[in-house]
Amino acid sequence: KLPHSGIAAESIIRVQVEADKQVDINVTTDGQIITPIKPGDDVIFKISNYVTEFVRFGSYDFFGVLREKLGWN
């Protein structure tokens, strides 16, 4: 299972926008890339074959950053 998700690592999750809906929908990846999707499009989520490691310098307060971004300071 994936940490914190309860979803098996080999799972593939498919979300489809209903073809008869007339709404504007965008997919945002890490808050940076905005991709418009249309009715009938599929969005598929699965584990990547690529692995990355992250380096953090100094202290990092995830909830502090979240509060700042949401203007809750």
Kindly write down the DSSP assignment for every residue of 4-62, as one continuous string.
TT---TT--EEEE--TT----EEEEETTTEEEEE-TT-EEEE---S--------S---H
pLDDT tens track of the chain, all 73 residues? Answer: 556 667 787 889 898 888 777 778 888 877 777 888 888 888 888 888 888 888 877 888 888 888 889 988 7
Q: How far is CA 43 from the centre of its chain?
A: 11
